[in-house]
Structure 1
């Protein structure tokens, strides 16, 4: 079986979020199951600079309305997975992946370029697996080109749908005008790329079973819940995994090595991190950590609402991330006023992220919604107990502590309410100080969870086989 992954990013070369992790880890896992996997992504400026040895295998021009745009095709093998890169300096020679005024045009070009590459090089592939709106238009274009590959479309976050004027879409892609209809891709007078992916794909997946159910109601459905209910017979929720070669406290280059059978160095890492952050060094003081985009989706409004009450507890709070200036400024101000208890590191840094996962005792993740979430899995891998809201992938991956049976791998609350989160955190802190055996057992349970890609990749393989 031959599968081509089409994506705007991959952690193997360049990533922004969880999409990049999946598009690196899933092909790697499937390749160990006798699936021939390839990945196609844009050739971004950063990739070109870091990997000057990429092999160029083709170049050609494609028509985008009255324009003819250059497409260069390069390749590089990583392990058993071949990566292909679409080169066009006008669209991709930029310092950042997303956030440009012409993102719609950039990824519309990318989608058409992918289909041309498939027609020229990959006609023998069985499956084309597209991810999010940036490559959703590959799916209807394959039909227009009369290519026969089966298609899978994965929704990583339904909030981002790729909604653009039909004038741009028709001009660049030359699609028939009947695509501007409610049963195709029309969306309040505009073209919706995610809608096109859902309508035309042979199978649609989301990144957790709970999220697959949630997006069928209007609270989570982002105005597509009716469409998703219509096509629910082809929608499958598969929980993402994490790459255990990448996220491993025993091999992490930024840490003193430890594992579930030897936690001594976890506390050594905690003391070292406290020293680095100029926090009071005390391995017995509970540390609450968070590595996140600072946005409402991640529950930052809940934290902000009760931050004063959180900091009245005997704890240390460390937050790493960037995002909404409201939260960046609020956390900076709170750090200034509580310098012995809080650090707000307003940037992203892989080293500090690893240190937070290792040093923290509680990992805070009170998301408003969370399609899957990988941070809670990484936290458990590193022995930090997640405190989450019961939504999406958090609900599927974290077993709430049950005081009657002793079962559980974390703490959880249900309603999107700041004080419900606060009460859950207060209970977790109480257990840490007053019931040490219980808390240590939670660490053991968390570190024994298996979030490798072994189970999830088999489920994706089953999806592929069902189409052939």
Structure 2
């Protein structure tokens, strides 16, 4: 039941269904959808990147220049995703590029200026389009300057006087640190003195500006909210988060089951349901198809999947030292991902030597991501840190048992088999050591080898978990109303 209808503007650098590089895009589509379902009025605003399909055919809602210096020209396109209207900020100088943030693993040198402009344009367009939200919900460093500008640039502007802001922190390791000269497109930064954003006499952090200026701050899981109050968990921003502790909310991300459910998944070779016969048949067919796709022997064997960015954050550096040792067992491992070329080369070398047991696909493929979730018996997420994580939630929906390190949202969402057999949904380990990962892999394999019936029971129990966005959306509304 809706107590008060809110108007919410969701500001993000990527939105699934239009353009995506990671989990932020999933949230930027699924949360607005659930908020709309609850009866709230929701719009999204994002950069109108050149590579968004259909961008150039979309209606132009506004052709203008920034009211404030440096009066950069831009236009607003009418985009849409799943019935939610999306304002696309189009500016050829900043967004007509082949990628969103980087090319050849090198970030664009003017990313600070690009997203400072985007933050300014998000607010500049509102009175011109007569869109007056109650809440502006910004996400990560790319939009950290939105709460800052709302508080500083528009503090005496009647149009903006009742608007409140929220900043969601999806990953505090990315702080948006830039030299003042790189933010020179905002008059407020010309004097090289912005205490709310400063991290040194010469550099600012867009994330810090958002954390100190937003009315409320949201971490994407309850455990991550606690971790942000520590030096280690906040990557050096503990003092900033501690100063806002009373305004910090931890809300676990949900799962968009219209995208990630084996019952309706159009990508996978055979759909299946959360009953034993359907699950066993479906997973078997998916495993067979994946084995053929990645050139692994067609056999019934314990399969371990992993789909991720190739970074140390995802725990690849815990896996690499023990992978060949684990491959001595009767197992198959499939890893799909792109990222650090050094890590990719190491995985490719191990795959070449163990081609009958290990397939590494260096690609970003939505189809393969779904196939790996459906085909695998276990899903690897040994993350160094993980604010929320979505793949462990997707995995459970497909009866694939996550193997996770007990951090952030992984700790909040996965119940370890040895800790609580009756309610188990996966396997977990605590210490960030390769040998600890090997031990938990062997625990899972031992259960698979000795008691396949028990594995099937736990897989079915995992499939029956519900991490729907509806519950998370209720908590977001509570935060907005506060």
Q: Scaled by the length of structure 1, what TM-score is found?
A: 0.95
1:103 aligns with 2:137: no
1:18 aligns with 2:23: yes
1:35 aligns with 2:59: no
| Root mean square deviation of aligned Cα | 1.6
Preserved CA contact (<8 Å) 1:36 1:81:
no
C-alpha offsets along residues 65-92 of structure 1, whole Å, 9 cap, x if unaligned? Answer: 5x43211011134344111101111100
1:457 aligns with 2:465: no
Distance in 1, matches of 2:140 and 2:479, equals 18
Secondary structure at the residue paired with 1:319?
strand
> 1:278 maps to which residue?
295
1:119 aligns with 2:131: no
1:76 aligns with 2:79: yes
> 2:237 maps to which residue?
224
Distance in 2, matches of 1:64 and 1:118, equals 14
Aligned pair partner of 2:372 in 348, 353, 356: 356
Distance in 2, matches of 1:407 and 1:141, equals 47
> 1:407 maps to which residue?
423
1:92 aligns with 2:105: no
1:156 aligns with 2:170: yes
**What is the count of residue pairs matched by the alignment?**
461
> 1:138 maps to which residue?
146
C-alpha offsets along residues 2-31 of structure 1, whole Å, 9 cap, x if unaligned? Answer: 000111110021111111110000000110
> 1:186 maps to which residue?
198
Distance in 1, matches of 2:298 and 2:340, equals 31
Distance in 1, matches of 2:136 and 2:198, equals 24
> 1:214 maps to which residue?
227
Structure 1: tracts of 5 or more residues without a match = none
Secondary structure at the residue paired with 2:66?
strand
Distance in 1, matches of 2:220 and 2:87, equals 24
Distance in 2, matches of 1:243 and 1:52, equals 28
Secondary structure at the residue paired with 2:394?
helix
Distance in 1, matches of 2:432 and 2:68, equals 46
Secondary structure at the residue paired with 1:175?
helix
> 1:244 maps to which residue?
257
Structure 2: tracts of 5 or more residues without a match = 1-5, 103-107
> 2:3 maps to which residue?
none
Give the CA deviation at 1:178.
Answer: 8.5
The runs of 4+ residues in structure 1 deviating greater than 6 Å are: 176-179
Give the CA deviation at 1:304.
Answer: 0.5
Distance in 2, matches of 1:61 and 1:258, equals 52
1:422 aligns with 2:427: no
- Higher mean alpha-carbon deviation, 80-89 vs 400-409, is at 400-409
Distance in 1, matches of 2:439 and 2:265, equals 34
Give the CA deviation at 1:209.
Answer: 0.6
Preserved CA contact (<8 Å) 1:406 1:438:
no
Secondary structure at the residue paired with 1:428?
helix
C-alpha offsets along residues 325-357 of structure 1, whole Å, 9 cap, x if unaligned? Answer: 221111111111111101000111111111111
Aligned pair partner of 1:343 in 359, 362, 366: 359
Distance in 2, matches of 1:344 and 1:80, equals 37
Distance in 1, matches of 2:286 and 2:357, equals 18
Secondary structure at the residue paired with 2:431?
coil
Give the CA deviation at 1:407.
Answer: 2.3
Alpha-carbon distance change, 43 to 181 in structure 1, aligned in 2, over 3 angstroms = closer
Preserved CA contact (<8 Å) 1:389 1:413:
yes
Secondary structure at the residue paired with 1:219?
helix
Q: Scaled by the length of structure 2, what TM-score is found?
A: 0.93
- Higher mean alpha-carbon deviation, 151-160 vs 122-131, is at 122-131
Residues 188-337 of structure 1 aligned to structure 2 (within 5 Å):
188-189=200-201, 190-255=203-268, 256-261=270-275, 262-263=278-279, 264-283=281-300, 285-337=301-353
> 1:442 maps to which residue?
458
> 1:54 maps to which residue?
58
Distance in 2, matches of 1:51 and 1:233, equals 41
Give the CA deviation at 1:53.
Answer: 3.2
Give the CA deviation at 1:120.
Answer: 1.9
C-alpha offsets along residues 39-72 of structure 1, whole Å, 9 cap, x if unaligned? Answer: 000110111x43443111111112675x432110
Preserved CA contact (<8 Å) 2:29 2:81:
no
Secondary structure at the residue paired with 1:252?
coil
Preserved CA contact (<8 Å) 1:153 1:201:
yes
